[in-house]
């Protein structure tokens, strides 16, 4: 019982940490994207690809985070 509670606690901590990393990467890539739009004026270089990353826990199976990749 204690082992199961400890394992679930570690799992939720890792999932929240991963969600924070995904949000930070998303905002960083948006900043880079707007920088290239305003300073380079070449939007044709960028192909914006949305890749869904499903973070499914036991409590909330529909909680999924979206990340964005900018490909040159």
pTM check: above 0.85: no
pLDDT digits (tens, 9 = 90+) for 16-70: 777 777 777 777 777 777 776 666 655 555 544 444 444 444 444 444 444 333 3
Decide: 70 and 48 in contact? Cβ < 8 Å: yes
SS3 61: coil
Cα dihedral 39, 43, 49, 50 sign: positive
Continuous H helices in 1-72: 2-39
Residue 7 φ then ψ, to 5°: -65, -45
């Amino acid at each position: 019982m204690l082992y199961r509670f400890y394992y679930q606690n570690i799992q939720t901590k890792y999932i929240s940490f991963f969600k924070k990393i995904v949000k930070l990467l998303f905002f960083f890539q948006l900043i880079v994207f707007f920088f290239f739009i305003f300073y380079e004026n070449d939007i044709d270089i960028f192909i914006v690809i949305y890749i869904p990353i499903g973070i499914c826990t036991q409590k909330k199976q529909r909680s999924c985070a979206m990340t964005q990749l900018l490909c040159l």
